[in-house]
Structure 1
Amino acid sequence: MKRFLTFSVMLAPTAALAHSGHDIGGFVGLLHPLTGADHLLAMLGVGLWAAQQSRNRLALPLTFLIAMAAGFAAASLGVSLPAVEPLILASVILLGAATAMTLRAPLAVAMPLVALFGLAHGAAHGSEGAGPTFALGMLATTAALHIAGAAFGLTLNCRIMRLAGGATLIAGLGLAFAG
């Protein structure tokens, strides 16, 4: 357990920052969610938390994807979303906590929360002038990470699922204190 937690904290040395250089296009968009711990953990976290829901398991990932696309588009048009970076960190921490606590929140609560996180993740990149091919690539990998998180969550027993959520929570706290 101590080794697992130590390893989880070691995954979190970088601050939650949207990265520049997105003008390259779709390939960079495909890779981006895999290159930042904040994005990777949040995307997997949505899938893990969705797997814990008793029904409507697609609702949370789809909500995140739609909100992420909307946040990207809005920011591309110059609309500014406040507190983007704190919301990205909050997404990692709260998704980890929800999974660790096996929280089955009503969709009326979970969907707006996940939508807010999706808006923040999308806005972080739309504001940097990344193009539509970058956005499509990022959305595709985000969807794949949601599926991977959900598949992982559906195969785990409850105890290991809670440990995965706890590790995500700890990594999110590490990101918050590192940045």
Structure 2
Amino acid sequence: MKNQRIAAAAVLALACAAAAAHPQTGGAHAHGFFDGFVHPFTGLDHLLAMLAVGIWSARQANARWLPATFLGMMLFGVLTGVAGLAIPGLETGIALTVALMGMLIAVAARLPAALGGLMVGAFALLHGNAHGHELPEAASTMGLLAASALLVYGGRMLGRVSPALALKLAGAAIAATGVMLVATA
């Protein structure tokens, strides 16, 4: 019980970091490689979504290409953000990606490959668009993609080596955090 309270407190404390990752809330970001690289680690929404994509992809049949799809569509999303495309409800959409990916992991959902690819691609587009507005320079985009690849493929590794029950519990925690992020978006 004590460990559960500590975990809950940690999740709530980290939830505040999600807002810090988005300059729309105020403040300016630098735009170098390092700034792009650390960015996914500073926002709980981005961190959990990328880990969740990797975890979920590891449990899908014939889905080795899902992480690459996510990264490619994230790059496309960055380009849309740099070009100035504003997606209405973007922050809510990003928070929903966390909740939905967590739910898919928690229930061990298996989707047809095409549907999984479309879903992951759409989620990546949202994340990328937000990053394109926040980190519009090429160097920061390269850092962002490098860190994102580490997170997605790290999540995939976790998905391959972790027991099913542990993944389901992690998915439930990710989904609950996503719901909390939706409520605060």
**TM-score, with length taken from structure 2:** 0.87
For residues 142 and 164 of structure 2, what CA distance do their matches in structure 1 show?
34
For residues 136 and 122 of structure 1, what CA distance do their matches in structure 2 show?
12
Given that 1:99 and 1:166 are in contact with CA atoms closer than 8 Å, whether structure 2 keeps it comes out as yes
For residues 157 and 126 of structure 2, what CA distance do their matches in structure 1 show?
25
**1:176 shift after superposition:** 2.0
Given that 2:21 and 2:39 are in contact with CA atoms closer than 8 Å, whether structure 1 keeps it comes out as no
For residues 19 and 182 of structure 2, what CA distance do their matches in structure 1 show?
7
Number of the residue aligned with 1:141: 147
Query: What SS does the corresponding residue of 1:42 show, helix, strand or coil?
Result: helix
**1:78 shift after superposition:** 2.2
Task: Work out whether 1:106 is the aligned partner of 2:126.
Answer: no
Given that 2:18 and 2:42 are in contact with CA atoms closer than 8 Å, whether structure 1 keeps it comes out as no
Return the letter of the residue paired with 1:6.
A
Given that 1:43 and 1:142 are in contact with CA atoms closer than 8 Å, whether structure 2 keeps it comes out as yes
Return the letter of the residue paired with 1:53.
Q
Number of the residue aligned with 2:66: 60
Of residues 52, 61, 64 in structure 2, which corresponds to 1:45?
52
Q: Percent identity?
A: 39
Number of the residue aligned with 2:33: 26
Number of the residue aligned with 1:131: 137
Return the letter of the residue paired with 2:58.
A
**Larger relative contact order (CA 8 Å, sep ≥ 6):** 1
**TM-score, with length taken from structure 1:** 0.90
For residues 138 and 14 of structure 1, what CA distance do their matches in structure 2 show?
17
Pick closer, same or farther for the CA change 1:17–1:83 going to 2, 3 Å: farther
For residues 62 and 93 of structure 2, what CA distance do their matches in structure 1 show?
26
Query: What SS does the corresponding residue of 1:22 show, helix, strand or coil?
Result: coil
Return the letter of the residue paired with 1:34.
F
For residues 139 and 129 of structure 1, what CA distance do their matches in structure 2 show?
12
Of residues 137, 148, 156 in structure 1, which corresponds to 2:162?
156
Return the letter of the residue paired with 1:138.
L
Query: What SS does the corresponding residue of 1:46 show, helix, strand or coil?
Result: helix
What are the Cα deviations for residues 13-67 of structure 1, in whole angstroms up to 9, with x where unaligned?
45557523333311000000001100100010000101111222x2221111111
For residues 178 and 17 of structure 2, what CA distance do their matches in structure 1 show?
10
Given that 2:69 and 2:120 are in contact with CA atoms closer than 8 Å, whether structure 1 keeps it comes out as yes
Task: Work out whether 1:166 is the aligned partner of 2:172.
Answer: yes
What are the Cα deviations for residues 106-139 of structure 1, in whole angstroms up to 9, with x where unaligned?
1111111111111111111212462011111001
Please list every run of 5 or more consecutive structure 1 residues that lacks an aligned counterpart in the other structure: none
**1:80 shift after superposition:** 2.8
Number of the residue aligned with 1:6: 8
